[in-house]
A and B are shown apart, each in its own frame.
Chain A
Amino acid sequence: MKKLVEIRDVCKIYNPGENEVRALDHVSLIIGEGEFVAIIGQSGSGKSTLMNMLGCLDTPTSGKYFLHGQDVSHMTDDEQSDVRNREIGFIFQGFNLIPSLTALENVELPLIYRGVAKKERSLLAMNALSKVGLGQRMTHKPNEMSGGQQQRVAIARAIAQAPPILLADEPTGNLDSGSSKEIIKIIKRLYSEGRTVIIITHDPGIAKQAKRIITISDGQIVSDIMNPDYKED
């Protein structure tokens, strides 16, 4: 298995000095291509910081982060933007769709920033929407859709340009149990199609769906196990 994500001895310290907060305290972690990982922890455990770090939204105070073998720990804003665009598909708890745009336009966004031409862009976006079962709702605006549908649009947006990593931050946090199941099912299917999936959650029920479960507490990884209860759908 090839290394996709490699974090070496990373610390993230807020307010350096007497009242410093060590959100990440010497964390090292390797995630290979095609893995299905859940990172679980209570709020304040440092899991959000870790997710920001993995998603290249943040840079470590010390230590290194290699993504696809490339050192991404100290990059400029624009370089980080490019890496996010190329490598990572985000799925957020609050869906984070742009309300003034239709489902299709939302899915097209990362493709625009990548510079994909109009025709190809629409095609890729339509494919992605069909994949999450929203082929019929492309021209709907987010406020015309249910939470589950909105999250499916967000997933379509995350996979439209086929990034190697899907980074899902509490993807079912705002959803009822029915929609949650649906979303987890889609995520599992994407994994089985060969994508690397990382889910960040505080919910053991969600974490149990993953193949590998990493537990984080007080900024440190306290356990990293293969899930004995994992079952394919």
Chain B
Amino acid sequence: MYFEYIKSAIASIRSNKGRSFLTMLGIIIGIAAVLIVLVIGDGMKATVNSEIDSMGASTVTVSLDTLKTEKTFTREQMNTIEDTLKGIYGISPSMNFGAYFVTPRKTYDAYVSCGSAVKVNSGGNKIIHGRYFSDADVNEAKKVLVVCQSTAMKLFGYEEVVGETVHMDFYGYEADFVIVGVREDTSMDAAYASFGDEPTLMCDAPYTSVAEVISFNPDDQFTSFAIYMDKENKDQVISSARSIVENVMGLRGENAVKIQASAGMDQTTDTILNIITSVVAIIAAISLLVGGIGVMNIMTVSVTERTREIGIRKSLGARTGSILTQFLAEAAILTFTGGIIGIITGLSIAYLICNVVGFTFMVNPMLVLGVVLISTSIGLFFGIYPAKRAAHLDPIEALRTE
């Protein structure tokens, strides 16, 4: 029996093709919009997460509370800590300097990340030519440099610049550095290098060499350093680092050592991305709501137009439930079909956008299923009012209308 109601619902949808399509359009746009937002949101998350993963080893930052102690990490103390901590690649103090690359043609802004050789493990340091600077370079304060691709291109016009010498100016302290390696651009390197007329060029150098150039004693400067290790060892390192650092520094019981795990970053970005996705999805959902109201509107018009038909059906013995089912089925079929078309449209557009922007395109099947359920429920929900109106029409009145 229900099959008959569904059949007659389909017949009436088909007998009014133009209007049925316009009604569906609201649902199609709504569903497509929601889907586009959610799929692109997922793709964005996946892309950002994989970028975070590619940032290489996990790091833990150890710092001294400068309000509680005036001590700094000396090179010797850092070496001791490095030797004592188990399961790590190594530790590196971190200093970043602004400087200039001075070439015969032009002077460029430079940004020099300084550290020890273990910094090769930090994200984006994929060497494509030459090598990263070594422990020996650091210990002997060799004036060597690892530049990124875009820096090489700007300075020399080509990438294989290993062995070249470049003159650097640290705001008055000048020295020649030899390039020992070229690393791949990260998206940030590329972004800074493309700042129009005033690019900032990225490079890495041993902290000891830069300290020497700028007459800076590395033994009384550092209040923090980073520990590089495998992700799996992170918890263990965090739990053992404090007592080792306190022992080496003679700071037991002073609560002056702070340990900070930096990989909380993927959680933070996740949260931010989720918030953005939710906000946009809510906006898209509003268009779906508007689509639903459109369905209700058209169904109400359809009931009014077909009052006589309803009267005829009732006079032939249709029960209230039969009429209700017929109109609900009509609304549900409209929105279900609209939902399917919306899914196809939405996924196609999301696929195109993901391709253009470079996000991972992935579709959660549960999402698609959910969207189908939602669109059908919208039809049922917004169809209830007009369907009830139809079902409770007085057959005599209904037969009298033209």
Contact = CB atoms under 8 A, between A and B. Distances in A.
A81 interface: yes
A57 B316 contact: no
Contacts of A98: 309, 312-313
B247 to A, nearest CB: 87
A109 B15 CA distance: 18
B221 interface: no
Interface stretch (B168-176, B288-296, B317-325, B364-372): B317-325
A90 B316 contact: yes
Interface stretch (A63-71, A110-118, A128-136, A206-214): A110-118
B391 to A, nearest CB: 9
Given A92-B399, A101-B11, A112-B1, A84 B308 contact: no
Contacts of B319: 77-78, 81-82, 113
Interface of B is mostly: helix
A157 B392 CA distance: 24
Contacts, number: 60
B293 to A, nearest CB: 26
Interface in A144-198: 157
Chain B CB within 10 Å, residue with most, of A98, A109, A114, A115: A98
Contacts of B12: 100
A100 B320 contact: no
B312 A81 contact: no
B396 interface: yes
A32 B50 CA distance: 87
A85 B396 contact: no
A86 B317 contact: yes
A96 B308 CA distance: 8
Interface string B278-314: 0000000000000000000000000000001101111
B70 interface: no
Given A100-B11, A112-B4, A77 B316 contact: no
Interface residues of B, number: 24
B315 A115 contact: no
Nearest to A154: B312
B395 interface: yes
A220 interface: no
Interface string B160-202: 0000000000000000000000000000000000000000000
Given A98-B312, A100-B15, A58 B396 contact: yes
18 contacts: A55-B315, A57-B315, A77-B392, A78-B321, A81-B318, A82-B319, A84-B316, A84-B317, A90-B316, A96-B311, A96-B399, A98-B309, A100-B11, A101-B8, A109-B316, A113-B313, A113-B317, A113-B319
Give the 5 A-B CB pairs with smallest separation, nearest first: A85-B317, A113-B317, A100-B15, A110-B316, A78-B319
Interface of A: 52, 55, 57-58, 77-78, 81-82, 84-86, 90, 92, 96-98, 100-101, 109-110, 112-115, 157
Interface of B: 1, 4, 8, 11-12, 15, 308-309, 311-322, 392, 395-396, 399
Given A78-B321, A84-B317, 11 more contacts: A52-B396, A57-B315, A57-B399, A81-B319, A82-B317, A84-B314, A90-B315, A96-B308, A96-B311, A112-B1, A113-B318
